[in-house]
Structure 1
Amino acid sequence: MEENEMKDKDQSSQSAANAREEYLKRMRERMGDEIDWEGDPEARYNAFRKYDDEQQATLGKYQESNQKLSELFSKNPRFAAMMSDMLKGTDASVAFVKYFGKEALEASGDEEKLKLITEANQEYLNQVAESEKLRKTQEENLQKSEEDISSFQQEKELNDEDYGKFIDSVYHVIEDGLEGRLTKEFLQIFWQGLNYETDIQSALKTGEIEGKNQKIELENRTQKGDNVPNLSSSNLSKKSEKKSLPLNKKKDFFDDFPID
């Protein structure tokens, strides 16, 4: 058992040595002869730390630049598309005219045109800002609606697939309304939703009236003697009175014949 433990320790030490050698090899490739590789190990590792700090600082600047560029592209998608074309080899002038029009180039010496272009661009930026504001509002409202959405699915006992189809239909109806497509299907959905309670009350009232009418009709037919037996309690009691006998009277043969 001790022999196995010794083997495990040797393997672990060898693995650590290999990892250290691999790390030093990579750093030598990156830093070259900037440091003394055979000198004081402490000085070598201080050089490593300084190198890492410089790399992190450079990386931070790249990330900051990318963030600014991303924000610029987000505010002006046409500029992003133009830059994409230029990176693919399209001539800068051609790409500019493709996305901004030749009028922008021709206005370079015309102060009035430049003013109009600036105003139009500002209007566009305002629209982008408003769109971004709307997007954030939608995200916030969806987060607030998650509880209602989940409880609605549970109440209706819908699986994820069926519920997904239902939500797709909801968004389809919403998009139709926002885009001005007021189809009969769209109007019917909202008509049924807005008038549901009224329709229910109307149906209940109609059923109540029909029930009363049927009762009145049955009573009228009974009074006219149209072969419908009168089953009222008063008639039943009268018949039972004719057939009942006093408890102390003995029934004989003639009791079954009516006496006028």
Structure 2
Amino acid sequence: MKKLNLINAVRLLLIAINHHIGSGDDAHAIADNEHAGFVSPQMYTQIRSSNGKRQLLSVGTDVLKLEAGRYWGYQFKNIVNDSSGVFLVDVDYLGDNSKKVIDVVQSATGQRYIYSQHNGAQESIPKGWRESKQSVVLWSGNASAINQTLSFADLYTKYRYLRVYVTVPDGAKECRIFDMSSVSYNVSNLWNNDGTPAESHYELTLEGNASKDGYIIRNNHRFDMATDGSLKSVNNGLLQVTQIEGVV
């Protein structure tokens, strides 16, 4: 073995160091499941995404072809029907990447959609985007009096439609879902628990107030019918409104 004097050894070490510094991405191996190493730009993005930092995607990106990660952007390809606005996109892979779940949320409205892919068993999985409906309790209590005001926790105009929970005199709960095309609603034609037509016909009308943050009970009647279809009697305030939810 040839020995170097101290001066030459230092010079060779300096050359090696200078060659290494600034040599770029090839200076060190990238870390993997078995070896320690340096972090690639892609790994850096993934680490930041685990802390809530999402990667911005370009317009026209195909959501169904994304790798596992956390993203955001707008005007995606192959996303839900309404692709306007900003979307937050989470892509999770399982096992050998033949199974994945894509979870997207429209930032402005909070609407959520799920897409599942399971190779080899796709015929048993619903195709396309499935909406995950979310609701907010706007009001809860027990109200039945005509002209009684139900004050909401938020403006009902922010929601796509409402769920109204009503208790009938026998204790059964009835949930009716109403769209937001009108501020006046009716609950009628309630049925007996065994599915047969009731001999009584209930009507409940809720009218939006001027500030759009509540409803007023304008009508709450029960019409008792005879077997021949004629009206026997009319009673007031028998339906109890117990909860109203706004659906995002």
**TM-score interval (norm. to shorter):** under 0.3
Counting helix residues as a fraction of each chain, which structure ranks higher? 1
Counting strand residues as a fraction of each chain, which structure ranks higher? 2
TM-score, L = length of structure 2: 0.22
Higher relative contact order, chain-length normalized (CA < 8 Å, sep 6+): 2
Larger Rg: 1
